[in-house]
């Protein structure tokens, strides 16, 4: 796609970095991450394209996020074309849960404040591993630290009504994506402005090799007095009054491999932890759980019977 108006165009450096990250995710981790290794990978890019070399004057303000993460995720999933044990599902490519907040703080004589909150998205499933909850996006892959909402509430005149993991939000698979965050936050006293740019609403993170896609992201505004919730644009600047909250359904990763091949004990753990529901355990993973001394236990006979039935019904489609 040719360069677009706005900041979504990648720079030559971020095209190179995103490509290298996707490749390095998928090769021997003992290979040094230095110029000696990087120089062996030849990357070509056209001038004047969103994913390419920008033709100035065009904006590149978001060159390190969103589209850059999509490029890395594309390369991750391409490796899965080599077959089982290779590649990754797509991870979070959105930082809607990392909004820029600004306003004035009555506690400090109406002093202005501005900050970007780091409340990160979840990671993809890959062979042998579930997605990281604190993955972030592909460009940091778990390196950034998650904000403490308690510290944020002390430093800024904001309040979090909710910041919790959502059940049934990740892509399912033999190795699932991480559960996504739901965040409900707003101002304590005076109005504040929230700026965000969301991805993965229309095209959520894809699963690979039989894994399913993650839940789509979304952004709403909720009035706590009237109870009314209003859908918001996926990229926007919003003014929140003290009685209003922004509700964020965050991004996460897709699943890797057939969910019917997931270890039933891992499914039991996911249900116990609230990552997936009992209904999803049966309908997607084919695992039947009974009440037990540790909250749940696997009914292996019923599970084997259900999985056989589900495999047969899927092969008949």
**Does residue 95 surpass a pLDDT of 80?**
no
Which residues have CB under 8 Å from 87's CB, separation 6+? 26, 76, 77, 78, 79, 80, 81, 126, 208, 209, 256
Confidence of residue 139 (pLDDT cuts 50, 70, 90): confident
**Does residue 92 surpass a pLDDT of 80?**
yes
Confidence of residue 120 (pLDDT cuts 50, 70, 90): confident
Distance of CA 102 to the CA centre of its chain: 24
* pLDDT at 97 (0 to 100): 75
* pLDDT at 294 (0 to 100): 76
Cα distance between residue 258 and residue 209, in whole Å: 7
Cα distance between residue 89 and residue 81, in whole Å: 11
Confidence of residue 305 (pLDDT cuts 50, 70, 90): very high
CA 172-24-90 angle, to 5 degrees, is 25
**Does residue 3 surpass a pLDDT of 80?**
yes
Which residues have CB under 8 Å from 275's CB, separation 6+? 165, 167, 170, 176, 179
- The first and second tokens of residue 283, run together, are 């309908």
**Does residue 204 surpass a pLDDT of 80?**
yes
Which residues have CB under 8 Å from 220's CB, separation 6+? 229, 230, 231, 232, 246, 247
Nearest alpha carbon to residue 233 among 204, 188, 202: 202
* pLDDT at 131 (0 to 100): 97
Q: Please give the average per-residue pLDDT across 292-309, as a whole number.
A: 92
Cα distance between residue 163 and residue 176, in whole Å: 21
> Model confidence over 242-280: pLDDT tens digits?
999 999 999 999 999 999 999 999 999 999 999 999 999
Cα distance between residue 272 and residue 104, in whole Å: 42
Percentage of residues in the chain with pLDDT exceeding 70? 100
Number of Cβ atoms within 10 Å of the Cβ of 203? 12
Is residue 79 within 8 Å of residue 86, measured between CB atoms? yes
Helix extents (H) in 11-132? 12-24, 35-38, 67-79
> Model confidence over 32-73: pLDDT tens digits?
999 999 999 999 999 999 999 999 999 998 898 889 999 999
* pLDDT at 65 (0 to 100): 86
Helix extents (H) in 245-317? 264-273, 278-283, 300-315
DSSP 118: -
């Amino acid at each position: 796609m040719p360069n677009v108006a706005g900041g979504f165009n990648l720079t030559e450096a971020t095209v190179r970095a995103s490509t290298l990250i996707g490749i390095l995710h998928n090769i021997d981790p003992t290979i040094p991450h230095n110029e000696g290794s990087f120089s062996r990978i030849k990357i070509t890019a056209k001038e004047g394209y969103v994913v390419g070399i920008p033709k100035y004057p065009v904006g590149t303000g978001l060159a390190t996020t969103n589209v850059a993460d999509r490029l890395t995720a594309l390369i991750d999933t391409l490796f899965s074309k080599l077959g089982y044990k290779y590649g990754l599902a797509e991870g979070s490519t959105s930082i809607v849960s990392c909004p820029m907040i600004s306003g004035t703080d009555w506690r400090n004589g109406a002093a202005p404040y501005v900050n970007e909150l780091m409340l990160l998205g979840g990671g993809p499933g890959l062979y042998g591993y579930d997605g990281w909850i604190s993955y972030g996006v592909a460009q940091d892959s778990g390196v950034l630290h998650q904000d403490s909402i308690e510290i944020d509430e002390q430093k800024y005149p904001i309040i979090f009504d909710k910041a919790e993991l959502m059940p049934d939000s990740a892509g399912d698979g033999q190795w699932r994506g991480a559960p996504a965050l739901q965040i409900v936050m707003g101002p304590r006293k005076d109005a504040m402005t929230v700026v965000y740019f969301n991805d993965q609403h229309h095209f959520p993170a894809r699963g690979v090799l039989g894994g399913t896609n993650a839940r789509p992201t979304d952004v709403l505004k909720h009035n706590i007095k009237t109870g009314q919730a209003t859908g918001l644009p996926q990229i926007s600047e919003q003014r929140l009054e003290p009685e209003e909250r922004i509700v964020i359904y965050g991004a996460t990763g897709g699943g890797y491999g057939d969910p019917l091949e997931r270890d039933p004990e891992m499914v039991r753990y996911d249900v116990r932890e609230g990552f997936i529901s009992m209904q999803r355990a049966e309908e997607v993973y084919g695992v039947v759980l009974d009440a037990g001394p540790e909250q749940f236990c696997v009914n292996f006979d019923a599970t084997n019977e259900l999985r056989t039935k589900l495999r047969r019904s899927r092969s008949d489609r």
